[in-house]
Amino acid sequence: MIRTGLSALLVLGTWATAGLVPAAAAPAPTTTEAPASAGLLTAMQKDLGLTKSQAVARIAAEKTATAVDGKARRAAGAAYGGSWFNPDSGTLTVAVTSAGKADAVRATGATVRLVKHSARQLDAAKAAIDALDAPAGVASWHVDPKANKVVVNVVAAEKNDNDVAAFVTRARQAGPVTVVETAKAPQTFAAGTVGGDPYYTGNVRCSIGFSVYGGFVTAGHCGQAGAGVSGWDGSYIGNFQGSSFPDNDYAWVNVGSGWWTVPVVLGWGSVSDQLVRGSNEAPIGASICRSGSTTHWRCGNVLAKNETVNYAQGAVHQMTKTSVCAEGGDSGGSFISGDQAQGVTSGGWGNCSTGGETWYQPVNEILSRYGLTLHTA
């Protein structure tokens, strides 16, 4: 019997006989190994409409783009205006405000686009908007390097609301802003207790994100610091050691009582498990997949970074938006690009029947905040 309720990154000791071993015993990656597991490739084919060869090629191109991004940012210096990955060409485009920096950025392997506003200017405008009190009809806002503006997402049904209009007016005073209508307001993806699911705290079910040494990271809205956590079988795992929500949406839980961590994102019995080998940040436009206890493997694309999401409970900052669907109980689960950990599921709108969008809190921010080390293969 497949234990479909088990979380993304925790396994019981009885799984050792099935071939899962602690990270220290996992073989180091080699240059000849496949760029991704069969399960990840299968999910990308299903959700992104790719062939297997296209999925393999895209993962390879995204890995190169991720490496180029850091070099291009350094080459551009203060003229850096952001970057995004183009899945059609397999290249990274970097925006710069100075033509004098173009050649140096091209030398890194990136395509260059000249823009008016630098990333620093756009980030400053977004920070000014973050200081405003957003009404419920404003869903989120983020810097869009491709548009070279701050995008404010407004719920279509609320666009004529006086408070929404006033917010948009004040947002435009902060800098270059464009307004986009969205279908629904975002919400978190926690769920009531259901038997056979990965972990519980109180009457809430959520999903485990990524293994760290000593525990795992997950979403902050799933539990407050000190809250006890039990596993799919009802046995005690540990406690929330730190938790932040709203403002942020991250937490970490310590692991004990016979449980231990491995650098694996589970495939839920339908796809192969995926090893985690690092946490290099994927660029905008890159493919990304998510594993959660309710809807299992789902894939899509990175749509935006550093987005402020306006939940009913309050705004959450520095989120990444994706086209991946999610449903109740997927909160806290792992977002992964290739074999690189990206973040933990926070919330969104829609579902996996009709589609939607989902945000995650970047994993590197969580690791830095709590001084944790990602468990990698």
Q: Which of 144, 197, 249, 330 is catalytic?
A: 249
- Residue 76: closest CA among 48, 107, 47: 107
Q: What is the CA radius of gyration of the chain?
A: 20
Angle, nearest 10°, between helix axes 52-76 and 38-48?
90
Q: Does the active-site annotation cover 221?
A: yes
Handedness of CA 11, 12, 16, 19 (dihedral sign): negative
Please count the other Cβ atoms lying within 10 Å of the Cβ belonging to residue 192.
Answer: 10
Strands 111-114 and 91-96, by their bridges, are parallel
What is the DSSP secondary-structure string of 290-303?
EEETTTEEEEEEEE
Contact 212, 374 (CB under 8 A): yes
Read off the tokens for 95: 């925006």
Burial tier of 245 (Cβ tally within 10 Å: 0-12, 13-18, 19+): buried
Tokens matching residue 164: 């929404």
Q: Look up 331 and say whether it is catalytic.
A: yes
> Rounded to an integer, what is the distance from CA 211 to the centroid of its chain?
15
Cα–Cα distance measured from residue 286 to residue 188, given in angstroms and rounded to the nearest whole number:
24
117, 142, 221, 375: the active-site residue: 221
Catalytic position from the list 331, 334, 337, 346: 331
Token pair for residue 177? 């802003």
Give catalytic residues, as residue numbers.
221, 249, 331
